[in-house]
Each structure stands twice: as structure tokens, then as C-alpha cells.
Chain A
Amino acid sequence: MAKIYSKKTLVINPMKPKKETISFLLNYSKALSVIKVNDKSFEIIAN
């Protein structure tokens, strides 16, 4: 029997951040509003 010396390629799952991190970012984005008055900008985060 011939031996097969090649290795099987490993299936690598892509690295992903935590679901909590993504959900935090999406909520942060929804909560954040920026108001520009003349040259100044104000960031408001709604609870």
C-alpha cells in the first residue's frame, strides 16, 4: 500500500468578534446623534 504523505487541509473558521461587541456597536450607533451648530458639534447619546 502506498502511503499518502500529504496532509489534509484544515478548515479554518474566519475569526470574528463577539456577538455582544457587534450588538453594542449597533446599539451605540442607534443611540448616538450628532448635532452641528455653527462650527461646533454636539454628540448626544440617547438612553
Chain B
Amino acid sequence: MADIQLPDALLVKKYVEGDENALTVLINRHQSKIFGFIYSKISDRDISNDIFQDTFIKVIRTLKLKSYNEEGKFLPWVMRIAHNLIIDHYRKNKKMPMFRETEEFSIFSIMSDDSLTIENKIIRDQVEIDLKKLIEELPADQKEVLVMRMYQDMSFKEISEVTGVSINTALGRMRYALMNMRKVIDKHQIILTN
């Protein structure tokens, strides 16, 4: 119950006066906020634990040295220590590992050019043309929804507002549009792959 009632400032005061339990309460109260903050910047549990530990070592030393000025801002103060230690961590790891090309390892085995070849570009353009023809064949209401969703990147809520139908109707039209397109693709055995 003490955890809920006592403010941070009082717990800090009690700890400075020698009450070790006050530190337990403070850590329990703020551990998830502080750890979550560190983890959000580091994304590694082990390193986050190390930084959390270093943060509180600094907190403990400062409090025991009686050089902490209580202004009712315990948590922001601890967060600032954690923030500085996170910056230190990144400074230490600033140097990126360097790779040298050897017979077993080539940098180009992990780096590649993802852009399409000329042939693949032609195929992609052809697929897009075929797709547009298929869309043109759809009933107007289905075509409208499909174009808004796929080409204009609108949400179904926006589509329903623009077309004046319910979201479920818009969803239904999209479903029928896709079903109809699949039917035509199957019927004419159109290949739409790159």
C-alpha cells in the first residue's frame, strides 16, 4: 500500500536517510516506464538491461552522495540519466563494422540491385495494361470502388462517404469486383505474373 500512497519525493528522502525499502518501492514503481523507454531506443533486451542497471547505479550513487536536489522530479531525472547513457551507448558503437571482400565472402552476396530488368519492366507494363482492360469490363459500381481502393488508396470508410453507400456495401462491391475479375482471368486464361 505504501507504494501507492507515498510520493516519490518522500521516498527519495527516506532512502537518503537510510531506508533501503524506499528504493525498492521507487524501482518497482518506475521500472516499466524506464525500461520501456530504454528498450524503445535500443531494441535489445540485454543491452537495455545493462543500461537500466547503469542508470540506477548512477541514481544510487548520486542519492547516497546526497548530491541530488529534490524538486519533485524524480522520474524525469532518472529518464534523463537513462537518455544520456543511451547516447553514450550509441557513441561507443558509432564505428560500423567494416567488410573486406575475400574469396569466400563478397559484399555483393548481401547487396543487390532490386530494380527490374528491361524484360521484366516490359512484362510488368503488359500486366498493368491487361489489368486495366479487365477493370474496364467491370460493372460501374464495382469498378468505382476498386479504383478508389487500389489506385487512389482510399479507405472503405472514405469510399462509402464519397459514393454514398454503407461500408458493407462498398466491401461487397470490392469482393464482387475481385470475384468477377478472377472469373474473367480463369475463363480467358490470362497470365498476370511477372
Contact = CB atoms under 8 A, between A and B. Distances in A.
Interface in B35-58: 35-36, 39, 48-49, 52-53, 56-57
Given A24-B53, A29-B20, A17 B48 contact: yes
B27 A26 contact: yes
B39 A15 contact: yes
A14 B168 contact: no
A43 B23 CA distance: 18
Contact of B49 (A18, A29, A34, A41): A18
A43 to B, nearest CB: 7
Q: Is the interface of A mostly helix, strand, loop or mixed?
A: mixed
Interface in B5-40: 20, 23-24, 27, 31-32, 35-36, 39
A11 interface: no
A2 B172 CA distance: 11
Given A16-B35, A18-B49, A28 B60 contact: yes
Nearest to A24: B53
A43 B57 contact: no
Contact of B60 (A14, A15, A32): A32
Contacts of B121: none
Interface of A: 2, 5, 14-18, 21-22, 24-26, 28-30, 32-34, 36, 41, 43
Given A25-B23, A33-B64, 9 more contacts: A14-B36, A15-B35, A15-B36, A26-B23, A29-B23, A30-B20, A36-B65, A36-B66, A43-B61
23 contacts: A5-B171, A14-B32, A14-B36, A15-B32, A15-B35, A15-B36, A17-B48, A17-B49, A21-B53, A22-B31, A25-B23, A25-B27, A26-B20, A28-B57, A29-B20, A30-B20, A32-B60, A33-B64, A34-B65, A34-B66, A36-B66, A41-B65, A43-B64
